[in-house]
């Protein structure tokens, strides 16, 4: 059983088309828990960092489509003061498979001011 943690921000995520590097199976899916974690690369933050996304259980997003999700970074100390609404990022699964943009920060959910 997964416990949903308070998200740090809401993001719009666009899954790349298959020819542009999207998932080989043709969609990006969430399990029954509605939680999925992947490495991510944020503009202004060095390296790959784990991003936890919360969406509808069993959601399948076809390649070339987009969705919104509540998100939480695993190592928030790397992100404090470095992201804001409009910050862009990529999801990585052996290669970049999607791009995202922060829509809204949930300032009260950070351990220190973002």
pLDDT score of 1: 46
- Of 5, 27, 2, the residue nearest 93 (C-alpha): 27
Query: Domain 9-108 belongs to what topology?
Result: Elongation Factor Tu (Ef-tu); domain 3 (2.40.30)
Structure tokens at 104: 């809204």
Q: What is the pLDDT of residues 36-84, one digit of tens each?
A: 999 999 988 989 999 999 999 999 999 999 999 999 999 989 998 899 9
- Domain ranges across the chain: 9-108
Contacts of 108 by beta carbon, 8 Å cutoff, 6+ apart:
none
pLDDT score of 3: 65
Number of other residues whose CB lies within 10 A of the CB of residue 40 = 25
Place of tokens 């998932």: 23
Alpha-carbon gap, residue 38 to 66, rounded angstroms: 16
Number of other residues whose CB lies within 10 A of the CB of residue 24 = 11
Place of tokens 């991003």: 51
Residue 4 in this model has a pLDDT that exceeds 60: yes
């Amino acid at each position: 059983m997964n416990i949903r943690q308070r998200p740090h921000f809401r993001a719009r995520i666009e899954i790349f088309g298959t020819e542009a590097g999207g998932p080989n199976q043709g969609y990006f899916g969430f399990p029954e828990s509605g939680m999925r974690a992947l490495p991510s690369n944020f503009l202004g933050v060095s390296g790959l960092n784990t991003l936890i996304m919360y969406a509808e259980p069993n959601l399948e997003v076809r390649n070339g489509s987009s969705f919104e999700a509540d998100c939480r970074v695993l190592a928030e100390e790397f992100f404090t003061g470095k992201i804001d609404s409009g910050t862009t990022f990529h999801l990585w699964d052996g290669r970049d498979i999607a791009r995202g943009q922060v829509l809204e920060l949930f300032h009260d959910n950070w351990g220190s001011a973002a």
